Each structure stands twice: as C-alpha cells, then as structure tokens.
Amino acid sequence: MTIAFRHSSPRRFTLPNRGALLRHLGTCLVLLYCLAPFYWMAVSSFRRSSDLFAKSPLPAPWSLENYQAVMQPSSGFMRALINSLVVAGTTTILTLIIAIFTSYALARLDFWGKNVVLAVIVATSMFPGISLLVPLLKLFSNHFYWVNTYQAMILPSLSFALPLAVWNLTAFFQQLPRELEQAAMVDGCTAGQAFRKVILPLTAPGIFTTAILTFIAAWNEFIIALSMVNKTSMQTATVAISRFNGATGFDVPYGTKMAAGVIVTVPLVILVLVFQRRIVAGLTSGAVK
C-alpha cells in the first residue's frame, strides 16, 4: 500500500492593488488633516505657560494649570457650559417636535404647492446667519426685550436648524409605505396611534441622527450668542472662550483657551463615538430602497 503525501504550496502573499493603497492613503491624509488641530490643542492644554510655544509632540512636563484656571469660579466657564447645555438641549427638543410633525405632513398629505413649501424651507437655510443679526437684534431689543435671555439664542438657532431637520425627516417619512398606517388602522388604531406606534419607531434612526446634528450645531453656535448676550452670567461656552483675558488683561491666554476648547469638544467627540452606528444608520437608511 502506498501513501501519497500532498505537498501544499506555500501561501502566497499578495500586495494590495494600487487603488486600495490610494484609498487608504487618502483616508489617512483626511484623518491627519482633521485631527491634527485637535491633537495640538489637547497637547497645548497640558503645557505650562512657559512651555506653551514648545514644538515637542508631547508636553514635558505635563501640567494641569490651564484646566485649574478654567475651573475657577471667577472664570465663569462652568456657568457658560450650563448655558450652552440649556440652549443646545432646548433647541434640539423644539426642532425635533416641530420638524417631525412638519415632515410627516409634507410626506403624507397631498396639497397644492407642497413642493414649493419644501423648496422655500430649504431655501431659508441658505441665508448667512450674519445677515440676520441686525434685524434680530433690533427686534429683540426694541420690541420683545429679550436681550440677555435664553430665548434670544434659542429661537434664532431654531430657525437655522429647522430647514435641515425638515428636509432630512421628510425623506425618511417618504420612504415608508402608506400601507403601514392603513394596516395599523385596520387593526383598530387611530391615525394618531398609527403614527405614534408604527411610524415613529421605524424612523428612529433618522430622528436620532437629526437630533445629534442639531445638538452639535447649537452647541457650537457662536455669532448669535455673541450678539444677543452681553452679560457674563448668560454667555455660552463658545462666547466665554473668546472673552478669556490674560493675567494683565492685554495678553492672550492661549493655554486657558486650549483647555476650555478641549472641555467643550470632548463631550461631542464622545457623543459621536458612542452613537456612531446610529448616526451612520440614520444617514444611509434612505440611500437604498
């Protein structure tokens, strides 16, 4: 009896093709371009004032003096963070409530001029925010007396966030078949119950994505908050960072600004990293039917 041994050929290692290499290289360049400023801001926030302009990739030695300066009650930065949370959270909630009902009506109701209404909503997002500051400031100061109030920052942010939210959610509602509501009503649901129990759960990825994007935009808003508020106790975090003063009042406290920038940015980074799957699902759910 003969036994035949099969000689396995050595495994061949193939190099990635040129297209894959270019894609990976492009991805690395984009990541480097986007993350390099944040990296340098984070590194500079841990440097001492005397070492702030050092070119070393890491602080030597590490110091928390900039964060201690930011956290002092006299800086007012913690109060500014609370103001930013109130403005961004309220803007997000109001935007979702209005956008959900508006988008559902645009997606389900048939009326004359529906496309025109949707086009006008989208067109309003094209106006630069700086062009609306003067009329808004005149309106809020001379008629409503809302200067140095939360509503003076929330309502303009709401008007800027609503067009994009309505446009996104309208696309999500349009991709859902009308038979879903009809089947729910055959089972005994009212129109409101069908919307609440069937449609809303199915559009949760889109609603969640819209909420995250709206919150980030409202959290980072600067121009409106700078124009509508001149009280230190009402300013948001972005405005507080721009108004930090140095030890003499004439020098720029770069280290303190870097530390405050890290504190403002890190919650958004964590939020996106934790919910990145939901965000991607919401952005791509309407791409394939």
Q: Single out the residue in 41, 63, 85 at which a domain terminates.
A: 63
Q: Is residue 135 part of a domain?
A: yes
- CA 162 to CA 125: how far, in whole Å? 8
Q: Is the residue at 72 inside a domain?
A: no
Residues 53, 172, single domain; the answer is: no
Query: How far apart (Å, rounded) are the C-alpha atoms in residues 168 and 286?
Result: 9
Is residue 7 one of the residues assigned to a domain?
A: no
Total number of domains in the chain: 2
- Count of C-beta atoms within a 10 Å radius of residue 177: 9
> Token pair of 44, please?
């500079």
Q: Are both 53 and 81 inside the same structural domain? A: no
From 63, 88, 113, the end of a domain falls on 63
CATH of the domain at 92: 1.10.3720.10
Same domain, 54 and 161: no
What is the pTM assigned to this prediction? 0.83
Classified as helix, coil or strand, 260 is helix
Residues 117 and 187 in one domain: yes
Q: From first to last of its 289 residues, what are the pLDDT tens digits of the chain?
A: 455 545 555 555 455 577 788 888 998 999 899 889 889 999 998 988 888 888 888 888 888 888 988 888 888 899 999 999 999 999 999 999 999 999 988 888 887 878 888 888 888 877 777 888 888 888 888 888 888 899 999 999 998 899 889 988 888 888 888 888 888 888 888 888 888 888 888 888 888 888 988 999 999 999 889 988 888 889 999 999 988 876 545 557 888 899 999 999 988 888 888 777 766 665 555 544 4
| Helix, strand, coil percent content, the chain, rounded in steps of 5 | 70, 0, 30
Residue 164, token pair as written in the block: 């994009």
Has residue 88 been placed in a domain?
yes
| 8 A C-beta contact, residue 235 and residue 80 | yes
Amino acid (1-letter code) at residue 196: R
| 227 and 85 housed in the same domain | yes
**What is the span of the domain harbouring residue 256?**
77-284
Please state, as a whole number, how many other Cβ atoms lie within 10 Å of the Cβ of residue 219: 23
